[in-house]
Structure 1
Amino acid sequence: MFELPDEIVALGMKRIEGFPVEGFVRGSGPKNPSILLIGEAPGENEAIQSIPFIGRAGDELQKSLKSIGLTREDVYMTSSVRSRPYIWKEKKMRNGEITKRKYNRPPTQQEILAHAPLLDYELKNIAPLVIVTLGNVGLQRLLGKDAKVSQLHGKVIEHSVRHLASLDGSDYLWSSEPYRIIPTYHPASVFYRPSNRDFVEKDWLEIGKYISSLEA
């Protein structure tokens, strides 16, 4: 199993200090996985348990992996941001009381930049057959803001990826070597847009075929 060094984790936690985030989730999986999965950021359950992709979205992801003969243990799971981004919102209860609680929100570009050294380290030290990005956040972290999952999902892309010039840097450079990437929708997308399920299922079949072609 591959683990981020403590000093890289400490750097990531220091760089994200002061942002409205909580918890910390390390990546999880083997050093030579079939797939390196890159998501968005932990949700509430992940932040509490420090385990990536659990809960409803995790269940959906495991179904997708099972559809091509893989399990959680065969892949490395990580995300663009390792701490849960949250926002406080008020909610009116049935008894009329107003309560405030934390809700998930997408990470900001500054938060993604803060944790960029962690993903950079994983990209340099993990050797997957293919990288699968889940949603626009993971895809754009690698390929820039013009990359859209709605246009690229299910396609094999061989391209350099963005990384920081140095561990404590703030500017992205393009890697000298290309990476094999297949974008698809985030597993949670099927909950708020059920029509995405067909895309997700077809994308994963393509991912499975591609992995089989590499292993042949």
Structure 2
Amino acid sequence: MIDTELVKCCVERLKSYPCEGFLLGGGNSKADLLFVGEAPGRDELTTQKPFTGKAGASLNEYLSELALTRDDIYVTSTVRSRPYKHDDKSKLKPIKQRANRTPTQKEVLAHAPLLDETIAIMKPKVIVTLGAIALKRLTGNELSLKNVHGQAFCTQLLKLPSLEANRLERIGEKHVLFPTFHPAAVFYNPSLKRVIRMDMLALKELLTFQGVYQPNMR
């Protein structure tokens, strides 16, 4: 879906950072519905599929609430490589045994062209951000996930204006965004399970309004 030269360029841009592997995305690249996560973890690099393992099972529960499958959506992330911990304690372990970590802003910027290009090619009717990192990548720091989850809004997205740029800008067409929590959030806060279910009910209504394909609408 994305030009191989752009992929090579972005892989090179991230080379100096403590990240490993690469995973472009997965699912139906012609779908109207795009899910954006944070970054792949060890499970994802092993299977070469986004959202596998426990987080994948949690995402599948989201889709079950929507009466959708992985074939009805496309899933990708803000950073396409796995950021791993590199503190003094972690450095004693081989990279593959180190824990995952949240990507830095510089790492997000390094792979920003990949998400920009994905959105430009797909032209999704709805973009679902999974967690705070994806929400901030596309909208900036003004919005708090705690305050806006489960609420759709239309906005210009933040994009990297050029490969040489060092900051994202709000440019281009507006898109419909729907923020919700990352599928792994329920492992740390089980009470979010009910909140996320309510978010999915709201998302289902939005998808119906937007005319996004749902199997149970046949």
TM-score normalised by length of structure 1: 0.91
Unaligned runs of 5+ in 1: 92-98
| Among 108, 121, 126, the residue aligned to 2:122 | 126
Deviation at 1:61, TM superposition (A): 0.4
Write the distance in 1 (CA, Å) between the matches of 2:101 and 2:171.
Answer: 29
Deviation at 1:135, TM superposition (A): 0.2
In the alignment, what sits opposite 1:23? 21
In the alignment, what sits opposite 1:162? 158
Task: Pick the structure with more helix per residue.
Answer: 2
Asked whether the 8 Å contact 1:21–1:83 carries over to 2, the reply is yes
Matched, 1:113 2:109: yes
Matched, 1:200 2:196: yes
Q: Secondary structure at the match of 1:201?
A: helix
Amino acid at match of 1:73: D
CA RMSD in angstroms comes to 1.6
Q: Aligned residues, how many?
A: 207
Describe how 1:75-86 pairs up with structure 2 within 5 A: 75-86=73-84
In the alignment, what sits opposite 1:143? 139
Asked whether the 8 Å contact 2:18–2:86 carries over to 1, the reply is no
Q: Secondary structure at the match of 2:134?
A: helix
**Any idea what the Cα deviations from partners look like across 1:91-150, whole Å, max 9, x if unmatched?**
9xxxxxxx7340010000000000001001011111222000000000000000122211
Unaligned runs of 5+ in 2: 213-218
Amino acid at match of 1:198: R
| Among 181, 184, 199, the residue aligned to 1:185 | 181
Once structures 1 and 2 are overlaid, which stretch shifts more, 15-24 or 25-34? Answer: 25-34
The runs of 4+ residues in structure 1 deviating greater than 3 Å are 88-91
Amino acid at match of 2:106: Q
**Any idea what the Cα deviations from partners look like across 1:147-199, whole Å, max 9, x if unmatched?**
22111100011000100111343222212321100000000000001111111
| Among 3, 7, 10, the residue aligned to 1:9 | 7
Write the distance in 1 (CA, Å) between the matches of 2:83 and 2:48.
Answer: 14
Write the distance in 2 (CA, Å) between the matches of 1:215 and 1:146.
Answer: 29
Deviation at 1:88, TM superposition (A): 4.5
Write the distance in 2 (CA, Å) between the matches of 1:170 and 1:49.
Answer: 32
Task: Pick the structure with more strand per residue.
Answer: 1
Matched, 1:53 2:55: no
Write the distance in 1 (CA, Å) between the matches of 2:164 and 2:13.
Answer: 8
Matched, 1:66 2:52: no
**Any idea what the Cα deviations from partners look like across 1:10-67, whole Å, max 9, x if unmatched?**
0110110110000100122333313100000001111222211111001110111011
Asked whether the 8 Å contact 2:29–2:73 carries over to 1, the reply is no
Asked whether the 8 Å contact 2:156–2:175 carries over to 1, the reply is yes
Asked whether the 8 Å contact 1:31–1:127 carries over to 2, the reply is no
In the alignment, what sits opposite 2:34? 36
Once structures 1 and 2 are overlaid, which stretch shifts more, 44-53 or 105-114? Answer: 44-53
Amino acid at match of 1:185: F
